[in-house]
Amino acid sequence: MIETVFDTKNKPIALGSDHAGFEYKEAVKQWLIDEGFSVKNFGTDSLTSVDYPDFAHPTASSVENGEAAFGILFCGSANGVAITANKHQGIRAGLCWENEVAKLVRQHNDSNILCIPARFVSLQQAKQMVDTFMETSFEGGRHGVRVGKISC
C-alpha cells in the first residue's frame, strides 16, 4: 500500500485531464483504485479533443472545497492545467516532470495538486511522481512563510 500524508481515508483523490492526458489519467486511476484509494474522476473520458479548463476547474474546485484530499491533473505539457488550477485561491498546483520536483513541490510549496505532462514523461515516471507526492510532507518553517505570501 502506498503511504500518504493526505487524508485519503476520508476523502477521494481528484483526477482530471484533457485528451492528451486521458490515457495516463486512466492508468493512474486504475493503479490508485488497485492500491485501495477512492478516486473522483472529473474527466475527460476519451481521446476526443477537449478544452483542458473544463476538467481542471472542477478538479481544482473539489480540492479547494475540501471534497478531495488532493488532485492530479494530466495534459500534454501540464502547463495549461497548472495555470487553470492555480486560478483557484486555495490551490497550489505544481507542474512536475521528474520525481525530485514532485518531492519539492510538496516539501517547499505545500502543493495540493500534482500536474503531470503526459507527452514528456513515461507512465512509470508519472506513477513514481504520484507516489512521491503522496508520501512527502510540507516542511513548513521558512517555506511556510513563503507559502503564506502566495495568496492575493
Q: In what order do the strands lie in the sheet with 93-95?
A: 39-41, 13-17, 70-75, 113-117, 93-95
What pLDDT is recorded for position 22?
A: 98
What pLDDT is recorded for position 151?
A: 79
What range does the domain containing 55 cover? 13-147
What pLDDT is recorded for position 13?
A: 98
pLDDT for 88-101, tens place per residue? 999 999 999 999 99
Is 84 part of any domain?
yes
Instruction: Please check the confidence at residue 144 and state whether its pLDDT lies above 80.
Output: no
Instruction: Please check the confidence at residue 1 and state whether its pLDDT lies above 70.
Output: no
Cα separations in angstroms, 17 against 13, 23, 125, 138:
13, 9, 17, 25
**CATH code at 116?**
3.40.1400.10
The domain total for the chain is: 1
What pLDDT is recorded for position 76?
A: 97
Is 23 part of any domain?
yes
State the catalytic residues: 75, 108
Instruction: Please check the confidence at residue 14 and state whether its pLDDT lies above 80.
Output: yes
Instruction: Please check the confidence at residue 75 and state whether its pLDDT lies above 80.
Output: yes
pLDDT for 21-69, tens place per residue? 999 999 999 999 999 999 999 999 999 999 999 999 999 999 999 999 9
Is 120 part of any domain?
yes
Taking only Cα atoms into account, the Rg of the chain, rounded to an integer number of angstroms, comes to 14
Is 3 part of any domain?
no
| Rounded-to-integer distance, Cα 45 and Cα 110, Å | 29
